[in-house]
Amino acid sequence: MSGMNMEIINLLKQNAFYPLINKEIDLPDKQGLYLICINKIEVLPEAMENLTYTYFEGKAVIYLGISGSRGLRKRDYNNHFHGTARVSTLRKSLGVLFGYEKVQSLKDQGTSNFKFITEYEKALTEWMLNNLIMYYYATDEDVENIETELISYFNPPLNLSKNKSEVNKEFRRKLSKLRCTL
């Protein structure tokens, strides 16, 4: 891990967002990167019970992402905590692990895009608000390379595309299949 990225890890510690306590406006409307951690590992879907986790501030890291130009507030808070699985890979992964029923709109027919039925999207929103914490780092710098290095460092099990670790590899393979099956 580079010295610069260790500095970013320290900055993440200073920026915790608790979705039940903090308000949307508390997040910067600026690009950056974020870690999603679980308050209590016991509430995760059963398929995640026996995974190996990296801990941050005493909490298991389950996902890491970047917001890009849409900003932490719009991209991460709105899409992840109040969106649908169609616009959030985090929601998509958690929902399929909980076994939620998927639906496709007419325009999504023939693609792998889906969301969950309204009842399950609401349940997922409630679960996420009650159980997840988001640590963030807002920056103007290019976060693509930083994201890749931090995924390698934290090995979040819900990151599929850039996670090359052998740890939890079989879980990620199964999750990928679940997400692609309609």
- Convert the pLDDT of each residue in 75-123 to its tens digit: 778 899 999 998 999 999 999 999 999 998 888 777 778 999 999 999 9
The reported pTM is 0.94
Confidence of residue 1 (pLDDT cuts 50, 70, 90): low
- Count Cβ atoms within 10 A of the Cβ of residue 69 and give its class: 0-12 exposed, 13-18 middle, 19 or more buried: exposed
Query: pLDDT per residue over 30-70, tens digit each?
Result: 999 999 999 999 999 999 999 999 999 999 999 999 987 78
Q: How many domains does the chain divide into?
A: 1
Q: Which residue has the tokens 């967002």?
A: 17
The contacts found for 56-61 with CB under 8 angstroms, 24 or more apart, are 56/9, 56/12, 56/13, 56/135, 56/154, 57/13, 57/16, 57/135, 59/133, 61/35, 61/36, 61/37, 61/154, 61/155, 61/156
For residue 126, what pLDDT is reported? 97
Enclosing domain of residue 102: 3-180
Query: pLDDT per residue over 113-162, tens digit each?
Result: 899 999 999 999 999 999 999 999 999 888 888 899 999 999 999 999 99
pLDDT exceeds 80 at position 2: no
